[in-house]
Chains A and B, each alone.
Chain A
């Protein structure tokens, strides 16, 4: 579904590349988390997959990006938008400003895609409920709290049912339960085969639970790629500027404090930690 070949990208005037010889394939229906320190290239990768690099940010791109059969560098943002949805980390960058209510903001993308009105109404009601925004549907998007704006930004993309969904830290402003609900919905969409999902994320606890696969970026390079438990409990995590989940840290500390090592893999999730310590 996604194929990157030898992608190198420089922002305008930048001397070091934001993405450095990146190659990657993601099959349909996978929920793939992208992790790494700030500045490692997570956001840039998101922008490249959605065509904002190079079409909006300009700069110099080499290599080949294909998403859902679209050659991203050769297609316009309008052509890409119907197939690839991007959720920005700051909802402010996402809200169009072209619509006066939450309801119309959600409808905006579908109008452009020509979704029939009945279907549109049904989809809007569904996502308003999920986002807890039903009672705020007539309010201006700019009169929402940060968390509400972020939920609006997420559902404005989900409502278009894009084949590929790219999310750059979509839950940074959401409360813990709200964040988890978003990750669960993404997992369900991927598991049902409806979407292929790329999720740039700092919350490793939820990456461990919900992702099918984890990619680690450092200085624009792909330095690790594998199943969540293997990546998140690996010894290299600190070198990449990341911190293991508390579950991994407790298990490691317990081993250092003399707990018998039965050779079991370290846990990264609550469920695995319970199993590990039982």
Chain B
């Protein structure tokens, strides 16, 4: 499902001018990472995609390229949009409500009116994906904060929405969970879902996302293929981001290109 953000401007009540004219078109099945300094407007932008925020100026349209009707977020409720856009908040405690992990993960699909048998299957498979099958009957708050984040990820996966948005999915996660989240992104991509993440984890971006959007000061600073964007050291520095470790190494060694994979860099190094 497609996402179209057209000339969106937004100011929070109280004055913070968070978006100053953002345009972005994301195709069906694309995987896009949004990066940029704290306060760049990343979270404000994605909160427009599920209707939590409505633009002061401009428009956000979800779908409309193929079988699905275009939904302007101004004309649809957050509840309606939830059927199209799954959203994992930065802080899991903003969205956990239920008394067991299983009930929490079932909440979203049930709300969407999914048949009970299908809900069970969706809950089961999404708990497997995040590695929390054994914790299904625990109280969410008996788990550690990084695991609670995985619960919210599972909740969104279980809703099987055509678009999924993760705000800082790898924050506070250890290496195994980061790898697991990478696998989830891969699975979503191969299932043709549209995936959007916000992250400060630039190495994770380089590993899993082909398209990178760089934001600063409420605007899109750059938007393009990972190989191009993640090697623009000076541009990234203006929004408090450094290129991935591999790119920094290639650049420090003065290599002709800066591959984004370990294998790619090893080949270049051994030439």
A interface vs B, CB < 8 Å?
36-39, 89-90, 92, 143, 145-148, 169, 172-180, 202, 205, 241-243, 245-247, 249-250, 253-254, 257-259, 270, 273-274, 277-278
Docked complex Cα distance between A202 and B174 (Å): 7
Contact among B39, B91, B253, B266 with A257 in the assembled complex (CB-CB below 8 Å): B266
Please tell me if the beta carbons of B174 and A242 are within 8 angstroms of each other in the complex: yes
What residues of B have a CB within 8 angstroms of the CB of A146 in the complex? 38, 43, 90-91
Q: From residue A257, how far is it (CB to closest CB) to chain B in Å?
A: 5
Contact among B203, B252, B269 with A246 in the assembled complex (CB-CB below 8 Å): B203
Docked complex Cα distance between A205 and B269 (Å): 21
What residues of A have a CB within 8 angstroms of the CB of B270 in the complex? 254, 257-259
Please tell me if the beta carbons of A38 and B203 are within 8 angstroms of each other in the complex: no
Q: From residue A134, how far is it (CB to closest CB) to chain B in Å?
A: 14
Extra contacts, 15 of them, besides A38-B172, A92-B91, A175-B240 (Cβ < 8 A), are: A37-B176, A38-B173, A38-B177, A143-B14, A146-B91, A176-B241, A177-B242, A178-B38, A202-B173, A243-B175, A246-B244, A250-B262, A253-B262, A257-B266, A277-B269
Q: From residue A253, how far is it (CB to closest CB) to chain B in Å?
A: 5
Please tell me if the beta carbons of B36 and A277 are within 8 angstroms of each other in the complex: no
Within 8 A of A (CB), among B112-162: 144-147
Contact among B36, B38, B144, B244 with A148 in the assembled complex (CB-CB below 8 Å): B38
With an 8 A cutoff between CB atoms, is B184 at the interface? Answer: no
With an 8 A cutoff between CB atoms, is B78 at the interface? Answer: no
How many pairs of A and B residues are in contact by the CB < 8 Å rule? 115
Q: From residue A250, how far is it (CB to closest CB) to chain B in Å?
A: 6
Q: From residue B265, how far is it (CB to closest CB) to chain A in Å?
A: 6
Please tell me if the beta carbons of A147 and B38 are within 8 angstroms of each other in the complex: yes
- Nearest 6 pairs of A and B residues by beta carbon: A147-B38, A243-B175, A246-B245, A177-B240, A175-B240, A37-B174
**Known interface pairs A177-B242, A253-B266. Does A145 touch B145 (Cβ–Cβ under 8 Å)?**
no
Docked complex Cα distance between A254 and B202 (Å): 22
Residue of A nearest to B38 (CB): A147
**Known interface pairs A89-B172, A146-B91, A178-B37. Does A250 touch B269 (Cβ–Cβ under 8 Å)?**
yes
**Known interface pairs A169-B172, A246-B249, A254-B270. Does A176 touch B202 (Cβ–Cβ under 8 Å)?**
yes
What residues of B have a CB within 8 angstroms of the CB of A148 in the complex? 38-39
Please tell me if the beta carbons of B237 and A177 are within 8 angstroms of each other in the complex: yes
Please tell me if the beta carbons of B202 and A250 are within 8 angstroms of each other in the complex: no
What residues of A have a CB within 8 angstroms of the CB of B179 in the complex? 243
With an 8 A cutoff between CB atoms, is B248 at the interface? Answer: yes
Within 8 A of A (CB), among B231-268: 237, 239-242, 244-246, 248-249, 252-253, 262-263, 265-267
Docked complex Cα distance between A138 and B237 (Å): 29
Residue of A nearest to B265 (CB): A250
Please tell me if the beta carbons of B249 and A250 are within 8 angstroms of each other in the complex: yes
Residue of A nearest to B255 (CB): A277
**Known interface pairs A175-B38, A175-B240, A176-B242. Does A242 touch B200 (Cβ–Cβ under 8 Å)?**
no
Contact among B43, B146, B177, B252 with A270 in the assembled complex (CB-CB below 8 Å): B252
Please tell me if the beta carbons of B237 and A172 are within 8 angstroms of each other in the complex: no
Please tell me if the beta carbons of A274 and B252 are within 8 angstroms of each other in the complex: yes
Please tell me if the beta carbons of B200 and A274 are within 8 angstroms of each other in the complex: no
What residues of A have a CB within 8 angstroms of the CB of B267 in the complex? 257
**Known interface pairs A250-B262, A254-B266. Does A176 touch B147 (Cβ–Cβ under 8 Å)?**
no
11 A–B contacts from the bound complex (CB under 8 Å): A37-B175, A90-B91, A173-B200, A174-B38, A175-B240, A176-B241, A177-B240, A246-B203, A246-B262, A253-B263, A274-B252
Please tell me if the beta carbons of B245 and A89 are within 8 angstroms of each other in the complex: no
